[in-house]
Amino acid sequence: MEYKQGRYSSLIKPLFSSIDLTIIIATIFLFEINLTNVYPFIAYISVLWIVISFFNHFYEVQRHTKIVQVITLLLRQTILFAIISYAFIGFFKQPNISRLALGNYLLLVFVLISVFKFLTFFLLKKYRAELGGNRRNVIVIGKNDKARQLIEIFNSRLDFGYRFKKQFSVSDNTFSLKDCFLYIIQNNIDEIYFSVSELSNKQINDLVDFADNNLRELKFIPDNKDIYSKKLKYEYYDYIPILSIRAIPLQESVNTFIKRLFDILFSSAVIIFILSWLTPLLAIIIKIESKGPVFFKQSRNGFNYKEFDCFKFRSMTPNKHANLKQATKGDQRITAIGRFIRKTSIDELPQFFNVLFGDMSVVGPRPHMVSHTNMYAQRVDKFMVRHFVKPGITGLAQISGFRGEIERDEDIIGRVKYDIFYIENWSILLDLKIILQTFLNAVKGDDKAY
């Protein structure tokens, strides 16, 4: 059956990409970059902008996309575009190009495209919410808590641009898919949402066939099985569709590169500007107060469960239980200077060397002692998921109240939940937010820092 949606959503992406390319090309002429020939450079950056946009999904901004995701896209797109722009100098042997002018050009491009992207992002939201434009008619098949919550979102978030038309209850004795199909056609429904748990396999197949044959978008609502509540990753193995139960952003090479570059720059800055003078000062104080080494080295489990030596400033008197027993409140092993550096998290600063060496990241799940890792792996469900990424000096769990001593099972369970959320939802902006909150917590003090 022929179906014409009467909307112009398909034109938005080509229009936005054309405007971005216009900005990129027009801005070149505002700077004296000293190009031998400007046109090969224009062709070079235009083609690569499109290629980067495709792999970065730069124009895949949906009506339900969060602002933090838009910022992440902008930063990632700009960093990659800057790298390929400077690569032009070497690839085409252009030694006379002004690096400073090229940098100013890239900065202006970033500002202009960011302004345009945010402007269109918010204008489209306003257009949907206040003028009722760019709307999609939707129905929901199924009647449960998740269906109810979805309908509430449709009705309350007008900026998403969904117009909820009707809910069909499968449990109703009068329910019929044919009636649904007729309603969909008569009311120009664009998207169909259905509860997997409430329909039989045959009904689902009939619904899929109808949607395909009538050019309607079909989306399912996760049922009460936990597997559908996960962040599923959809892939093809040749022609066979495969679902993975966990998508890990840091397994993508671009994200890995960005995070590693950030780790190197950030850890180098801390080592040069803080540890270079703080280490000798603390070394004298630690040595005066108690005998023993300045640094404390402890085996911990990191990426892929691999053991590494984690460095800290020594905050306890040397003892045989250091690698077995976690510090507790009022622990007699902690020295006077140790109490201060633990309270302010200064004792963790040598781990920036671990970051520089590649064993750790600035942000990630906190590594545990090997003995504790083995214990929690047996006791806590999904504990080992934390080892899919590098451990961090700080993490989402630590700024969310789950740092320090593990007094109850709820402490480690909560920590694991936050760590898994971080792994599945990583972004460079999330890292920056965690770092800022960690600094604020260190300044004001944390009740569990002892």
Residue 103, C-beta contacts closer than 8 angstroms, at least 6 positions apart: none
* pLDDT tens string 259-270: 999 999 999 999
Final residue belonging to a domain, choices 115, 131, 147: 131
pLDDT confidence tier of residue 9, bands split at 50, 70 and 90: low
pLDDT at residue 1 in the model: 41
Structural domain includes residue 44: yes
Decide: pTM greater than 0.85: no
DSSP string, 298-337: EEEE-GGG-EEEEEEE--B---TTTTTS---TT-TTB-HH
* pLDDT tens string 309-338: 999 999 888 877 666 666 667 677 888 898
Question: Distance between CA atoms of 106 and 85, rounded to whole angstroms?
Answer: 8
Average pLDDT over residues 403-411: 79
Question: Distance between CA atoms of 248 and 256, rounded to whole angstroms?
Answer: 11
Pair (180, 51) in one structural domain: no
Average pLDDT over residues 18-23: 94
* pLDDT tens string 160-198: 888 999 999 988 888 889 999 999 999 999 899 988 888
Structural domain includes residue 388: yes
| Long-range contacts formed by 11-14: CB under 8 A, 24+ apart | 13/59
* pLDDT tens string 273-291: 999 999 999 999 999 988 8
Final residue belonging to a domain, choices 131, 158, 193: 131
Pair (417, 269) in one structural domain: yes
Average pLDDT over residues 135-158: 88
pLDDT at 12 over 60: yes
Average pLDDT over residues 225-253: 64
| Cβ pair 364, 395 in contact under 8 A | yes
pLDDT at residue 107 in the model: 95
Final residue belonging to a domain, choices 131, 162, 193: 131
Structural domain includes residue 314: yes
Pair (63, 190) in one structural domain: no
Question: Distance between CA atoms of 233 and 255, rounded to whole angstroms?
Answer: 17
Question: Distance between CA atoms of 48 and 280, rounded to whole angstroms?
Answer: 49
What domain range is 350 assigned to? Answer: 253-444
Residue for token digits 């609502």?
221
Question: Distance between CA atoms of 377 and 301, rounded to whole angstroms?
Answer: 12
DSSP string, 124-172: HHHHHHHH--S-EEEEEE--SHHHHHHHHHHHH-GGG-EEEEEEE-TTS
Average pLDDT over residues 78-94: 89
Question: In CATH, what number is assigned to the domain containing residue 198?
Answer: 3.40.50.2300
pLDDT at residue 10 in the model: 56
Pair (349, 404) in one structural domain: yes
Pair (31, 170) in one structural domain: no
pLDDT at residue 397 in the model: 93
Structural domain includes residue 333: yes
Domain count, the chain: 3
Phi then psi for residue 19, to 5 deg, are -65, -40
- The residues that bridge with 394 in the sheet, in sequence order, are 363
